[in-house]
Structure 1
């Protein structure tokens, strides 16, 4: 096993995360509307294949296929009773691919519900949902918790608190997803980027940042904004362009060279960790690794 991920982040070249899981699995045949977590049970060999693709490309962090493996999301897919099995198996699949060369991030996404009064979710319910999943991921042996694609700072903070309460010895990284507006970068709930990431860092995260929604040029602009206002360890993972609907499905049109050039431009600004989100695959990460070296 490599040493603690927190030590690696503090020294050496930028830490390279992996790329998309959902869009990659769709490209390999995951049916529309079916959660990726279902393939942890039904097609584990494909999940492991994707992890191995990223590991071979040079990714130092592999995210488990557990983004939607909390009780509320699994309930909608009819998989609620297999929560423990899915989380344990998913981490094992990532660990097999990681071997002694990469860290496994226990991926946790939002519940899919809004907090009251916009939706049914209460702080206590969110805490229960996140704590339940975090406890299983901790038992599975993740190297750190990777909280991704949160669109509500309050829900992200609830996730951080649950992870730290359940397993205070396991580091936490957290990314929000931001939209560009005429006034700057905000979550859909109106959380401003710099202030929101500061709150996550103050809550105990060792790494904070953004993923999804923005394509690479937009994420580079976000990087410029953040590094002008903050001195925090940042993780940025853009999409491979804006999605285009075609007869064959959703396509992310940005080619690897253009994507990697824009992501590499984030490093001189002080960004400490990068990777890819929707539309990226191992080829993007391989070329990004070459540029970073």
Structure 2
């Protein structure tokens, strides 16, 4: 599919635009019965393209500027582990993921972002050459499909992320990289500040964190990354990809160490889903703006269209537009003003939703979980 010429990601960021990405695919598709739990591989791009296409459209309608290809964990070694090979090949997934993202992006003028992620063979201490060969194979598809920019995401080790970035930058396209780390650093104990420096020196123009912790912890980590870049005299655009649910109790392993993972990560199981207002508070006019973080995207796990809409609503003054998904919802719940119930009508204000302290709703639920580790 031919791409439509539009301003590139770096051009938009350097002009001061705030970019909103899409939300989570794997968790939503697994909950809807399209993706195998456990390995979370993206076979749905080939087996159920209509499901992936629908999610893309939900995020686009909610206000996303970027459609990310559903190519998470689409490497040969991961597909072998999941039991999906040889019925579905990684090349088929990568090609279908690019086509679906481009199809929907063209419906709303969005950019297409293609991603690679951590590899199982790295954990087995495979060589740099082996890891880079996997990334290069995926990159070949992305170049043939002419995606707009690239990301190395969900890396627990900055060493492996750097290897991936070094391959992606050979494309000549803009490159982002996000790590699934906490303020304590990566799995080898490398600090967020040093991680950011290494990624930028490898060639990444956008760096940040993604989907092991919630918005608050993501922002803390990215602030440390920005501090490291400032101290080293390096420049990069910063981004966060937070979870769509709160997990302040998560340790260094993030939410996957909680006993609720993976089927209880919702407010029905005591892990509170992030309110739209909670996501919005991590956007431009709050701490993220002061920390110089202009690129935002919801997480690869747990976030849904209303999280994206909340970000788009909060940033409407800067962006000059509200997404069509806000017409029935209203900014900060203003649609509730028409309710016939006085107590619901009273909640039609920013003050109510911004100061809300949600509870789990379960009488015997503890306030925090205990990580397995």
Shift, 1:34, TM fit = 5.8
CA distance in 2, matches of 1:33, 1:239: 18
Kept after mapping to 2: 8 A contact 1:25/1:36 = no
2:176 to 173, 177, 182: 173
CA contact (8 A) 1:179 1:188 kept: no
Alignment of 1:1-293 (within 5 A): 1=4, 2-30=6-34, 31-33=36-38, 35-77=40-82, 78-79=84-85, 82-99=89-106, 101-114=109-122, 119-165=124-170, 167=171, 169-180=172-183, 185-231=184-230, 232-240=236-244, 241-242=246-247, 245=260, 249-251=264-266, 253=272, 254-264=274-284, 265=286, 266-277=288-299, 278-293=301-316
Measured after TM superposition, the shift of residue 120 of structure 1 is 3.6
Query: 1:191 and 1:98 mapped to 2: Cα distance?
Result: 36
Q: Please state how far the C-alpha of 1:229 moved relative to its aligned partner.
A: 4.0
Q: Does the aligned pair in 1 maintain the 2:72–2:115 contact within 8 Å? A: yes
Contact kept, 8 Å, 2:26 with 2:42, in 1: the verdict is no
Secondary structure, aligned partner of 1:279: coil
Please give the root-mean-square deviation of Cα atoms over the aligned residues, in Å. Answer: 2.0
The structure with more strand, counted as a fraction of residues: 1
SS of the residue corresponding to residue 280 of structure 1 reads coil
Count of aligned pairs: 284
Q: Distance in 2 between matches of 1:153 and 1:225?
A: 15
Say if 2:70 and 2:98, in contact at 8 Å, map to a contact too. yes
The superposition leaves residues 131-161 of structure 1 with CA deviations (integer Å, 9 ceiling, x where unpaired) of 1111111112211111111111111111111
C-alpha distance in structure 1 between counterparts of 2:173 and 2:11, whole Å: 13
So what's the TM-score if we normalise by structure 1?
0.90
TM normalised by structure 2 equals: 0.71
- Kept in 2, the 8 Å contact 1:60–1:102? The answer is yes
Within 1, Cα distance between the matches of 2:154 and 2:99?
A: 23
Task: Specify the alignment match of 2:325 in structure 1.
Answer: none
> Which runs of no fewer than 5 residues in structure 1 stay unpaired?
none
With over 3 angstroms needed to count, the CA separation of the structure-2 counterparts of 1:160 and 1:225, relative to structure 1, is: closer
Equivalent-residue separation in structure 2 for 1:281 and 1:193 (angstroms): 27
Question: Over residues 226-282 of structure 1, what are the superposed CA-to-partner deviations in whole Å (9 max), with x where a residue is unaligned?
Answer: 334434310111112125728964325222211221344212321020111121111
The answer to whether the 8 Å contact 1:220/1:263 transfers is: no
Q: Bigger CA drift: 190-199 or 244-253?
A: 244-253
Counterpart CA distance in 2 for 1:76 and 1:140 is 27
In structure 2, relative to structure 1, the CA distance for the partners of 1:230 and 1:120 (3 Å cut) is closer
| Mapped partners of 1:268, 1:275: distance in 2 | 17
CA–CA distance in 2 between the matches of 1:268 and 1:95? 33
> Deviation of residue 64 (structure 1)?
0.6
User: Relative CO higher for 1 or 2, CA cutoff 8 Å, sep ≥ 6?
Assistant: 1
- Residue 201 of structure 1 aligns to a residue whose secondary structure is helix
Tell me the equivalent position of 2:350. Answer: none
